[in-house]
Amino acid sequence: MNLNMKIAILSPVAWRTPPRKYGPWEQVASNITEGLVENGIDVTLFATGDSITKGKLEYICERPYSEDPGIDPKVWECLHISHLMEQADKFDLIHNNFDFLPLTYSRLIKTPMVTTIHGFSSQKILAVYKKYNSTNHYVSISNSDRSPELHYSATIYNGINTDEFTFQSEPKDYLLFFGRIHPEKGTYESIQIAKQSGRQLIISGLIQHQEYFESRIKPYINDDDIKYAGNSGPEERDKLMGEAYALLHPISFEEPFGLSVAESMLCGTPVIAFDKGSMPELIIDGKTGFLVRNIDEAVRAVKNIKYVDRKYTSEYAASKFSRQKMAEGYLEVYRQILRT
Q: Which residues, other chains included, contact 284 with Cβ-Cβ below 8 Å and sequence gap of 6+?
A: 316
Say if residue 114 is in the same domain as residue 63.
yes
pTM for this entry: 0.95
Residue 296 lies in a domain: yes
d(CA 316, CA 314): 5
- Is residue 218 located within the same domain as residue 77? no
Is residue 1 in a domain?
no
Specify whether 171 is located in the same domain as 140.
no
- Check whether residue 172 and residue 298 sit in a common domain: yes
Residues 210 and 150 in one domain: no
Q: Are residues 273 and 310 in the same domain?
A: yes
Per the omega criterion (within 30 degrees of 0), is the bond before 270 cis? no
The answer to whether residues 173 and 309 belong to one domain is: yes
pLDDT tens per residue across span 71-117: 999 999 999 999 999 999 999 999 999 999 999 999 999 999 999 99
179 with 296, same domain: the answer is yes
What's the domain count of the chain? 2
193 and 102 belong to one structural domain: no
Helix (H, G, I), strand (E, B) or coil at 44: strand
pLDDT per position as a tens digit, 191-217: 999 999 999 999 999 999 999 999 999
Treating both helix axes as pointing N-terminal to C-terminal, what angle do 187-197 and 295-304 enclose, rounded to 10 degrees? 50
Cβ burial 50-87 (10 Å sphere, 16+ → b, else e)? ebebebebbbebebbbbeeeebeeeebbeebbeebbee
Q: Are residues 128 and 15 in the same domain?
A: yes
Strand arrangement, sheet containing 6-10: 56-58, 42-46, 6-10, 93-96, 113-117, 137-140, 154-155
Q: How many Å apart are CA 149 and CA 117, to the nearest integer?
A: 14
C-alpha distances in Å from residue 303, one per residue of 289, 290, 298, 300: 12, 11, 9, 5
Q: What is the pLDDT along the chain (340 residues), one digit of tens a residue?
A: 446 899 999 999 999 999 999 999 999 999 999 999 999 999 999 999 999 999 999 999 999 999 999 999 999 999 999 999 999 999 999 999 999 999 999 999 999 999 999 999 889 999 999 999 999 999 999 999 999 999 999 999 999 999 999 999 999 999 999 999 999 999 999 999 999 999 999 999 999 999 999 999 999 999 899 999 999 999 999 999 999 999 999 999 999 999 999 999 999 999 999 999 999 999 999 999 999 999 999 999 999 999 999 999 999 999 999 999 999 999 999 999 998 7
Q: One-letter amino acid identity for 283?
A: I
Shared-domain flag, residues 258 and 326: no
State pLDDT tens for residues 304-325.
999 999 999 999 999 999 999 9
Domain hosting 240: range is 162-320
Q: What is the CATH number of the domain that holds 182?
A: 3.40.50.2000
178 and 300 housed in the same domain: yes
